[in-house]
Chains A and B, each alone.
Chain A
Amino acid sequence: MVKKLINGNYAASYASKLARAQVIAAYPITPQTNVVELIADFVASGEMKAKYICVESEHSAMAACIAASATGARTFTATSSQGLLLMHELLHWASGARLPIVMVNVNRAVGPPWSVWADQTDSISQRDTGWMQFYSESTQELLDTVIMLYKVAESPDILLPGFVTEDAFYLSHTYEPVDIPEQAMVDSFLPPFDPPFKLDVDRPHGLGSLSMPHQWYMEMRYNIAEAMDLSRRRILEVEREWRELTGRSYGGLLDEYGTDGADAIIACAGTAASTAREVVDDMRKVGKRVGLARIRCLRPFPTEELRALGRRVPVIGVMDRCYTFGDGGPLFTEIKSALYQLRDRPLVKNFVAGVGGRDITMKTIEKMFENLLRIGSSGLDREKEWVDLKRPEVV
């Protein structure tokens, strides 16, 4: 075991190396750039045996990954924000073709106005592309999840692509001591990619050709839906294996902290969760029963875990670092929809916070908890609240 002081971006580069990615196609974008810079160094020095393809856009990066993955190569790419949006069309293509490409996305706000800071609009906009989505809270979690994700994605009954996100700058550029696992250990955990079908000149066949309405399109979509449902169990199995090897795990699809006997909890994704943990500790010390549920996996969605939680906890505040215009925070609407089937539903309130990288401080979160504890007895005040918004002075 080697501990290195690295940032989230480098953790992503190391993860792709440890996973023995064979083809990397990427285009640089702030704040993702040093993910692919370090991989380029690894490849140039021969430390990583891979083909590094320089492309002219993120659309091409994903196209190259799709082509390489279709020939049976393990592929990796990384992007952020507008870059991910430019990939959008091909994200659908990758999942439709059942290619287990793995990517890292740095969660960055979408312009205009330009902002390179943390915001989850970019990845949440990819909800319906058929990609698995993981949100990391720490640099170590990012590295570990990339490796675990290859194993999940390449399972013969799953065969779906996936990405792991890290919040811009909070993880991408912040240095933490990270355990870089031994290559031999990762090799024992992650076998080489061996897809059940691949483009092969000796056994020619077509990939992604036409399907008429009376033929198999609908059934193929159904199979993707089934694979995504199956992936829930697979994610938990793979995480258990990883824990046996490394002693580390991250709570499966929904990472709970202090939810036992809680009067109110906050649900969120990404690095704001680690701030929330501190607040939970402080408030618990003074007898306030609050907790945290971190959405670690947005696709597949932790529906059952949330329902179990909703049966125990009377008030849930959902903190979204982005917004779906014309509706609400996306985690808020997803969580509400998961809880709807419960007979006794908890109160659910939406806090929109940290949009465009605005700091989510301990004070901010403490105020949310105080509000949740209050509405637990007095009833919901407002369904959605933009926190720390500069508002006109009230006289």
Chain B
Amino acid sequence: MRRELRSYKDLPPGPITFETTRGFFKTGSWRTFRPVVELAKCKKCWICWKFCPDVSVRIREDGKGVEFDYDHCKGCGICANECPAGAIQMVPEE
């Protein structure tokens, strides 16, 4: 939903953003470690997807597990820490 904003009267009833601006900013370069998944070990429990604070774990279209959005993943390592199968390794960025 796009609105013409001219005054306080045009604002939605709260600080909400209808369109995400995330696509404009690539923050992946902040990373020092990158998550790498070993698909053979992945149980497809989607725990990593649920826990990623940056919405950077994606479920693969072929359903074979997960992949990462390296344009936005900040390398926090939460996915690797939460993965019950040990399928995600954090490897140093070059």
Contacts and interface: CB of A to CB of B under 8 A. Distances in A.
B47 to A, nearest CB: 18
A205 B16 contact: yes
A222 to B, nearest CB: 5
A182 B11 CA distance: 39
Contacts of B17: 205-207, 209
Contacts of B14: 97-99, 159, 197, 207
A207 B15 contact: yes
Given A205-B19, A207-B17, A220-B11, 16 more contacts: A98-B13, A156-B13, A159-B13, A159-B14, A205-B16, A205-B18, A206-B16, A207-B14, A207-B15, A207-B16, A208-B15, A209-B17, A216-B5, A219-B7, A220-B8, A223-B11
A197 B14 CA distance: 8
B15 A220 contact: yes
Nearest to B21: A209
Chain B binding surface SS class: loop
B53 interface: no
A96 B12 CA distance: 13
A223 to B, nearest CB: 6
B58 to A, nearest CB: 15
Contacts of B15: 96-98, 207-209, 211, 220
Nearest to A204: B20
Interface string A205-236: 11111010000100110110000000000000
A216 B13 CA distance: 12
A220 B12 CA distance: 9
Interface residues of A, number: 20
A196 interface: yes
Contacts of A205: 16-20
Nearest to A70: B14
Contacts of B8: 216, 219-220, 222-223
A206 B20 contact: yes
Nearest to A223: B8
A174 B20 CA distance: 52
B13 A196 contact: yes
A216 B16 contact: no
Interface of B: 5, 7-8, 11-21
B46 to A, nearest CB: 14
A227 to B, nearest CB: 9
Nearest to A209: B17
B12 to A, nearest CB: 6
Nearest to B17: A206
8 contacts: A96-B15, A98-B15, A156-B13, A196-B13, A197-B13, A205-B17, A208-B15, A222-B8
Interface in A97-137: 97-99
Contacts of B13: 98, 156, 159, 196-197, 223
A219 B16 contact: no
A96 B14 CA distance: 7
B21 to A, nearest CB: 8
Q: Across the A-B interface, give the 10 residue pairs with the lowest CB-CB distance, nearest first.
A: A206-B17, A219-B8, A98-B14, A209-B17, A208-B15, A205-B18, A222-B8, A196-B13, A205-B16, A207-B16
Contacts of B5: 216
Contacts of B7: 219
A99 B13 CA distance: 10
B89 to A, nearest CB: 30
Nearest to B8: A219
B12 A219 contact: no
Interface in A169-216: 196-197, 204-209, 211, 216
A63 to B, nearest CB: 14
Nearest to B18: A205
A196 B11 CA distance: 13
Contacts of A197: 12-14, 16
